[in-house]
Amino acid sequence: MSFLRREGPLIFTSVVAFFLIIEYYIANSQLTLIATFLNRSAMIVGAFLLGFGIINMTLIHTKNIIQRKPKWPFSLYLLILLFVTLVAGLIPPLGSNYYYLWLFNNIYTPLDPAIFSLIAFFIISTAFRALKIRNLEVSLMLLFTVVVILRNAPIGPATFPPIGWLGDWVIISINTGVQRALNLVVALGAIAYGVRILLGVERGYLKGAG
């Protein structure tokens, strides 16, 4: 039984990953067929998992309503709107009928950048609080932040050309160097992590604690 529960799935994981990796390097039409099938299967199985989310969300808000938790009318509103969106989406033509697109274009489309735009406030208040000449590290960060802020404000280069030139240069050289080094580091870590999972030595995925 233990094989069906733990080792089996782990070996299955490794086999699936092995086919996908090999297919990237070796030109063989059979392998490509297998890899395409696996990719497609993962898309389908992954789509099924969204049900877990919807069940979880529905349970939480139903509970809020039944137990009359504070602000429970909001939970009711959420469930109704979820139901409406789903029904609107499922009326044929699937996902492109008038009501569904109306909801998408008039609720989703403006709210997405609205929430995104909150970051503009947070990024400035974080800078105000964190970027102080506390020590050399933070001072350097502050210095380069200021250079780039002044470079990106159109008035900076227009009134004082060297700031534009300096700003361009730090973006081209320093930023490139740091990003590239970190990308290399992250890539190596990810590869090694993946290989450890395939060899079954990593705790966590299906292995649990202990």
Partner 1 sequence: MFSLKAGVTSTFIILIVFVIGMYIYMKISKKGMYFRRIPGLDALEECVGRAVEMGRPVQYSPGQKGVTDTNAPPTLAAITMLSYVAQICARKGANIGVSIMDAQVMPLVDQSLKEAYLAEGIDQYPKDGIQWLAPTQFSFAAAMLARLRREKPAAIFYIGHCEAETLMIAETGIEIGAMQVMGTEAVAQLPFMTAAADYTIYGDEIYAADAYLSRNVKTMGSLRTIDLGKLFAMLVIIIGSILSTFGISILTQILKW
Partner 2 sequence: MSLADRIMKIDRRIIYALIFIVIFLFSLKPMGIPVVTQPWVIDTYKLVESLQPGDKVLICWSLYPVSNEQIAGAVVILQHLCMRGIKTVHFQTQTAVDLVDDVMLNKVHPESYGQVYGKDWLWLGYISGLEAGQAAIAQNLKGTVTVDKYGNQLSQYSLWNELTNDARQFKFVLSPSAETPGTAGVLRQFQIPYGLKIVESGSAFSLGSVMPFYASKQYWGMVAGFPDCAAYEKLIGKPGIGSRSTDPLSAMGLLVFGLLLVSNIAYIISKLGGKGGSVK
Partner 3 sequence: MISTDIGVWIGVILTICAWSFLIKDQDLYRLAEYTFVPVASGYTVVQAIKIIMSTGTTPLLGGDISLLIPLILGVMLYFNYSSKYRWVSNWSMAILVGVGIGVSIRGTVKANFVDQIVNTMIPLAASTPLQSFTNIVIVVFVVTILSYFLYTIEPKGPQGKIMGWAAPIARYMMMMGFGVSYGNMIANRLSILLGRVQYILFTALGLS
Q: Which residues bind partner 1 (CB under 8 A)?
A: 21, 24-28, 42-43, 46, 49-54, 56-57, 60, 111-112, 115-116, 118-119, 122-123, 125-127, 129-131, 141, 179, 182-186, 188-197, 199, 201-206, 208-210
Q: Give ∠ CA 105-108-113 in degrees, rounded to 5.
A: 105
Residues that bind partner 2 (CB under 8 A): 101, 104-105, 109, 112-113, 116, 120-121, 124-125, 127-129, 131-134, 142, 145-146, 148-158, 161, 164, 168, 171-172, 175-176, 179
95 binds partner 3 (CB under 8 A): yes
CA-CA-CA-CA torsion sign (196, 200, 204, 209): negative
60 binds, among partner 2, partner 1, partner 3, none (CB under 5 to 8 A by kind): partner 1
- The CA–CA distances, whole Å, from 168 to 148, 150, 180 equal 8, 11, 17
32 binds partner 3 (CB under 8 A): no
* Residue 123 vs 158, nearer CB to partner 3: 123
- Smallest distance from partner 1 to CB 204, Å: 3
18 binds partner 3 (CB under 8 A): yes
User: Is-contact 114 107, C-beta < 8 A?
Assistant: no
Cβ atoms within 10 A of the Cβ of 158, count?
Answer: 10
- Smallest distance from partner 1 to CB 202, Å: 6
Residue for token pair 């400035």: 124
- Smallest distance from partner 3 to CB 50, Å: 5
Choose which of 62, 66, 69, 77 interacts with partner 3 (CB under 8 A).
77
- Quote the CA–CA distance of 144 and 75 in Å, as a whole number: 46
User: Is-contact 85 100, C-beta < 8 A?
Assistant: yes
Write the CB contacts of 14 (distance below 8 Å, at least 6 apart in sequence). 198, 199, 200
